[in-house]
Every structure is written in C-alpha cells, then in structure tokens.
Amino acid sequence: MDFAEHRIDTADDPKIYVRDYAPQGGARGLPVLCLHGLTRNSADFEAVAPKIAALGRRVIAIDARGRGKSDNDPDAAHYRPDVYTADALFVMDTLGISRAVFIGTSMGGIMTMLAALTSPDRVAAAVLNDIGAEVDPAGLKRIASYVGKSGPVANWDEMTAGVKAAQSVAFPGKDDAFWKTFARRVARQRPDGKVEYAYDPAIANAFTAAPADAPPPDMVPLFRALAPRPVLLVRGAISDLLSPTGVATMKQIKPDMEFVEVPNVGHAPTLEEPEAWNAIAAFLSKVE
C-alpha cells in the first residue's frame, strides 16, 4: 500500500475515508484532491494517484459519504453534491490543506465547480473528467437505469460479468483483465462472501425523486465560477454525458481551457489512458 489512510469525522457524524499519498522526492507543487464519480470511490484513482505523487505532489483521494470505506448516511437526503463538496473541504481543513488542484470525475467535477463557487480560494486549478457546463440527458438516463438496482451476487466472477454488461458501452473492446480490475474498484466482498457494489443503494434516490421528464441541471453558472482558473477538460470520445456541443459551450466561456479527448472511451475515462495521463502530467507541470 503506497498511501496512508484516514477516517475523518464530519460535523453531522458520517466518517469520510481518505487515501493520502505522500509526494515523492519532496513536495513540488500544491496537493491534488481527487474526487470520484457517482457510484465510484477513491480506488478510481489507484493507478493515477501514485503517478501524480511521483511528480512531487501530495494526493488526497476521498470516498464520498455512502461510498467505499466511508460511512453511509442514515438520511439519504444528504446524498447531494453540495454535502459532498462540504465534506471534501472539511477533509482539506482537517489535513491542513488550504488550496489544491482538483481532479473531478463526473460527480467529482460537479463538486469541483461547486467548490470554486462557494470557496473560490480553495481551488487553484482543475481537471474536469467528462463533465462540464452541460449534461447530456442520454447519459443521465443510462446512469439512472442501473444505479442502486443491483443487489449482491455470489462471487467476483458474477460481479465482473455484471460490471462488464453495464459498462461495456463506455469501454468497448476491453479484455478480461480490465474488467476484473474495474470490478475490484467498484465492488466489495461482504462478510458472508457475497459481492456487492461499494455504495449505499440510497444514493439513487436523487434520480428517483426527480420527474422523468425533468431537464438536466444547468451547470453553466458553476463552470463560470471555475473559469478564472486553469482548467483541463478530459472527454471520452464516445461519451453520452458530455457532448461535443457541451465542450463547445465551455470553450466559448473559457477560450483558454485545455482540452483532450480519449478515443474509443465513453463516460468516463479512467485517466490511465495515455492521452488523458499525458495531458494531466503536462497540465500539472504548468500550474502551482
């Protein structure tokens, strides 16, 4: 294990699990805060975080409440991006981090933009992974079709098959090793030996509570709050959540935004892809 672990109490009780990677060869820049997507956890960054640490940056990867090794929230109404963002900023406070470069995948990108809006001094720069000022309804519909709807299965082989069935549209042509790794990141084995997704099914309530014909949220104001900072946007070339039109909107708002597209990947790139990683490394070399 190349990281320290923390469990940090929040003001309303749920403990937040944190992976803390020390900078290698001495600190050479602000820490990097990694924020995962809706159904993911800090394991999403298990390959990328050590590479960032090797660049001389401390890396903090958080399990949002209700995910991974963080506590579930007894009140499902708290499963909201504003609450997750407050948790992330509280973690920064607890660990003595005043400013950071944020890397946010999907929901984590929304958290990044919210942090820029509510606590602008905390966000020095940002990498947004397949999320932005506009959300494609097709992607939201696909995510809503599976979140919280899969119960525990008998073993890891069955979980891997289920993960592949749900996600192969975003990662076509991947081999068995990819899917086994993917499953281990998004799922966990219970004490009874069964395997389940590593999140509280109640996180799906935000989807079920919204009317089926509700328009996607307008995140243009959030992106405008982030825009004064250096921003790298990563898009999966076959993403159904961030469309080329959405990218164009973001470029119009922020003409100097850096952008990279990952071929033959949908929502969302793992950031291990050469195109994504090379862009992130280059971006980090130019920011604090």
Which residues does 67 contact at the CB level (< 8 Å), separation at least 6?
A: 36, 39, 40, 41, 198, 199, 200, 203
165-175 confidence digits (pLDDT tens): 999 999 999 99
Q: Give pLDDT, residue 213.
A: 67
Pick the CATH number of 4-137+217-286 from 3.20.20.140, 3.40.50.1820, 3.40.50.720, 3.40.50.450: 3.40.50.1820
The DSSP line for 229-257 is S-EEEEEETT-SSS-HHHHHHHHHH-TT-
Kindly give the parts of the chain with pLDDT less than 50.
none
Q: Which two tokens stand for residue 187?
A: 């799922």
Across 36-113, the runs of DSSP E, i.e. the strands, are 59-62, 100-105
> What is the distance between the alpha carbons of residues 169 and 107, in angstroms, rounded to a whole number?
19
For 69-111, how does the pLDDT look when each residue is reduced to its tens digit (9 = 90+)?
999 999 999 999 999 999 999 999 999 999 999 999 999 999 9
Residue 27's pLDDT is: 87
Whether the Cβ atoms of residue 6 and residue 95 lie closer than 8 Å to each other: yes
